[in-house]
Structures are given as structure tokens and as C-alpha cells.
Amino acid sequence: MTLAELCTQVEPSFPVTARKDLKTAVRVLARALDCPDPEHCPPDLYTQPLPSLYLRVEQALLAQKKKAHTVRNTKNHLSRLFRFAEAQNLFSLTSPEIEPRFDFRQRPPRPGAAYAKQDKTSLTFKEWPLALQEDFLAYQTWATAPLVPGRPARLRKRQITLDDYRTVFETFFGYVQHTAQIVPTFDHLFDIELATRYVHWHVNERHHKPTITIRAFLDRVATLARQYRPLPDFVAQIVALKKTLPQPTPSLNKDDAWVSLATLDEIGRKIWPQKKPADYRFYDTATPGLLHAVQAAYSLMFRLWTYIPYRQRNIREMLIGQNLHKDAHGTWRITFRGDELKVGSKRGRINVFDLPFPPTLVPVLEDYLTIWRPVLVSVLPHPEQERHVFLTKRGKPHWRSNLTTTTSRIVYTYTGKHWHPHIIRSVWATEWIRKTHGDFYTAAIMLNDNLQTVIAKYAHLLEEDVAEKAFRLIDERNGNGK
């Protein structure tokens, strides 16, 4: 079946208004594959892995100096073409060959990513005046302590939340000291004139556009003024200031980081060690198999993510016996509860996220626990005291930046994508909702998220084909084709 014949078969699934653009996209693809037209484009050319087709199309259009939206729209039409073709069992795209083909050391900056400027703009916590440090730590104790007189239990925050507050305030206090030339105090957080000047400087001079960061600053200051130091008039002024800010446009394109679950699973399989620890004595003379034990940990981690889209915090903090455990029937389970989760309580009850370990991965888990994890803890003076499931080559738990950097590096070497752990949640939900035609309930359970939140975030996936479905129903109603 030539590319032209495939297009003819699938074309009725497209709305009439999109068919001209579809044919244009097909012609672009044919020429990108060095074919004169779609009629002379055989299956062995267009059934390549989708990333390969995208790359050829991008190169062809950019060579013609086409704009970014043209490239994006062309890729979107091709994606829908192949998705409809697979749904009709007309053909299946070739799975990409997983081999390390990209050098992480030569990875280009991600388009749209913000990189630190050389000039001094932040004031780290260690640089804060002592009185400011003490005032912030007092608030931190009030916000994180299990029980505080007069503070409703629902207002208790996790330490990771306070770490985020501190980071946001470091930029503000940097402005106060370096730009406003004022010695910063905690009270400056509640100075509407200073906050306004900071917002205008941040948007008009520092970034030349509204950012998520400046909105986060206003949200956190308003929270303090509602909960910790009630100042209703100040809150109203902050809310009014926030309304003057346009919504920031997304600076990152998720396509740059998007890696399918199937590809992530293949990467996990690829890096799993093929020998026993002792067989690696030549490579790891001090601790045989140490580096390959690290690979085994990442292998299991990647494959687990394809089944359950855990936040990376849960991966880092997962403990044997507490989170990873066997139930009364001998079944491996993973359980997180309360403050171990981003949302500690739901509807007034402790949030419990309890799922069986994916049965397919149980043999991999048990091999990791009995063969490879002991190699990682063997470098510690007291290995019996370490309970984290996933460890670094030093036998220590991962920290956030370490896990992000290393997993991103591994995925980049195989895909050339700017993948990062948090995007796994978007990929998982998107793939599931598309394949199940809208099973939001299961997606919410697996994401450990609120159903309404998941619907609000992913409902647009069902809008992709809504016109096509409507037109088919209208054709049936009108008796077309009879």
C-alpha cells in the first residue's frame, strides 16, 4: 500500500476542512523521504519509527524556511493519519531501535529553558540577615510542626513545601538587597509597594515577560498573609496585583521531552546487566559489579515508571519494609501514606496510595533485591541500616538533582530527547486516556490525583477527534453512502 493509498483509506476519518492539509502533509512526507510524490512512496519507507519520520519532515520544512507552526501542524496531521491507520488495522509503525546514539556531553540547551544569568539577583538563605533567617525559621516551625495552638491541622505543610517558599523568597530578597538597596527583613514580604516594584522589575526588566515564578511569589505571599499573619487588606492588594499579570505563555514544548512508555521500557530492558556481579571484576576492581548494580537500579526504576507514574520523590524515598513490602498473601506491594505523598489527606482522611507491584516486574525486583542492591550497600560501613530501595554507587539515597540529571542523561543517550522524571506522569496519563477513549477514573487512581483535576488537565485529549466523530454520526443520520 503506497502512502497515497494509505491516505485515501484514512481520509474519511478526517473532517472535510482538514483533508486538504492532510494531503499537503502527506506530500511533504513523501518528498522528505526522497519520493517524487505519495503515489511512489512504498511502505518500507513510511513505516519507519515516528521520531525518524518527524526528523525528516522537520529537516525538509526548515530547509524551505517554513515557520515553526507549519512544522508543528504538519507533524500533527501525520500523527493523526498514522493513529487512525493503526486503529483501522491498516498497518503498524516500526518500533524504534534502542541503541545509545547521542552524546549527552554534546546535548544542546533545551529550547525555551531558563538558564541562570551571570549577574547577581538572588540572596541565598545563608546570606540573609540573622533576624530574617530567624523569622523565616519561626514561620517554618509554625507551618510544619504536627500541632500548633490556633493553627488548623489542614494548614500544616511539608518541609519540601517550605523549601520551595524559601527558594521563591530568595529571589525577592535578592531584589530587595541588590536592586532596591535595602537590608531585607521578613516584614518586607508584606510591603505592597515593595512587592509591586519587584513584580514590575521582574517582568519588565529582568525577564521581559510574565513568568510562573512571579505568580508563585504572589501566591506564597498571599498564603502567608492569610494563614500566618492575617492581613486581609494586603491579600486583596496582592490579588489585585496578580490580576494585572497576563498568563505566562509556556516556554517549553513537551515534544522536546516526550518519550513513549514503550521506549522507556525498552531502555530499561537494554541497561539491565547481562552478567552476575563477580563477572564484572575486570571493570569494577574495588567492588565487582558496582557500576552495573547502579544500571540495574535504573533499569528497574524506568520499567516501574511505565506501570505506575510515581513522582520522583516517591522513587527516591521508597523504603524496604515500609513502602515496598509483602502483604499477608506474600504479594509485593508499594504503599505510601500521609506526608509521604504530595497530597497528605483527601476529604479529611489520610491519603493512602497502595498498589500491588506490577506482577510482570516481580522477577526483576527480586533479582535486583537479592543480586544487585547488596552490591550497592556493600560500600557502606553499616549496610543493614540502609532501607532505601534505590541507591547511588556510594550506597546512599538519591537526591532530587542527582536523580533528575542521571535519568535524563540515560534517556537522552538513547532518544536525543530532553526527558525528565516528572514528564512521565503526563505521558502515562495521555497514553492511557487515548487508548481507553477517556478512562479518567483509572488515570486518577494511578496518578494518585483528584478525578476532577485529571479531567480538567486531560479532557482536551478527547477533543482531538471530536469533529471526525461528529461528522461520521451526521453522515449516518443523513444516510450518506446508502
Number of H helices, E strands in the chain: 20, 5
225 and 281 fall within a common domain? no
**C-alpha torsion 35→39→44→49, nearest 10:** 80
238 and 260 fall within a common domain? no
40 and 82 fall within a common domain? yes
User: CA of 324: how far to CAs of 135, 162, 453, in Å?
Assistant: 39, 27, 27
Question: What is the per-residue pLDDT across 401-420, written as a single tens digit (0 to 9) for each?
Answer: 899 999 999 999 999 999 99
Cell of 102: 547521542
pLDDT in tens, the chain (482 residues): 899 999 998 888 888 888 899 999 999 999 999 899 999 998 888 877 777 788 889 888 988 988 888 888 898 888 888 888 887 877 766 555 678 889 988 888 888 776 544 446 899 999 999 999 999 999 999 999 999 999 998 898 888 899 999 999 999 999 999 999 999 999 999 999 999 999 999 999 998 999 989 999 999 999 999 999 999 999 999 999 999 999 887 777 888 899 999 999 999 999 999 888 877 766 666 778 889 999 999 999 999 999 999 999 999 999 999 999 999 999 999 999 988 998 888 777 889 999 999 999 999 999 999 999 999 999 999 988 999 999 999 999 999 889 999 999 999 999 999 999 999 999 999 999 988 888 999 999 999 999 999 999 898 887 666 655 666 667 666 765 44
Would residue 63 count as lying in a domain? yes
Cell of 135: 523569622
280 and 212 fall within a common domain? no
Would residue 388 count as lying in a domain? yes
How many domains is the chain built from? 3
Among the three residues 396, 413, 428, which one is the final residue of a domain in this structure? Answer: 428
Alpha-carbon gap, residue 331 to 317, rounded angstroms: 21
- Strand order, beta sheet including 332-337: 324-326, 332-337, 352-356
219 and 263 fall within a common domain? no
Among the three residues 192, 219, 243, which one is the final residue of a domain in this structure? Answer: 243
Q: Tell me the backbone φ, ψ of residue 336, rounded to 5 degrees.
A: -120, 145
Alpha-carbon gap, residue 458 to 425, rounded angstroms: 11
290 and 404 fall within a common domain? yes
pLDDT at 249: 78
Among the three residues 393, 411, 428, which one is the final residue of a domain in this structure? Answer: 428
Q: Write the CATH number for 270.
A: 1.10.443.10
SS3 for 290?
A: helix
Would residue 102 count as lying in a domain? no
> Would you tell me how many other CB atoms lie within 10 Å of the CB of residue 362?
13
Domain that holds residue 133: 125-243
Would residue 460 count as lying in a domain? no
215 and 316 fall within a common domain? no
pLDDT at 116: 43
Would residue 105 count as lying in a domain? no
Relative to beta strand 349-350, strand 332-337 is unpaired
385 and 285 fall within a common domain? yes
Which DSSP symbol is given to 250?
P
Would residue 104 count as lying in a domain? no
Q: Tell me the backbone φ, ψ of residue 325, rounded to 5 degrees.
A: -155, 170
Would residue 129 count as lying in a domain? yes
37 and 148 fall within a common domain? no
User: CA of 356: how far to CAs of 124, 304, 316, 317, 332, in Å?
Assistant: 42, 12, 19, 18, 6
pTM above 0.85, yes or no: no
pLDDT at 467: 59
Residue (of 264, 252, 350, 346) closest to 305 by Cα position: 264
pLDDT at 186: 97
239 and 300 fall within a common domain? no
Would residue 100 count as lying in a domain? no
370 and 395 fall within a common domain? yes
380 and 259 fall within a common domain? yes
Q: Tell me the backbone φ, ψ of residue 354, rounded to 5 degrees.
A: -125, 120
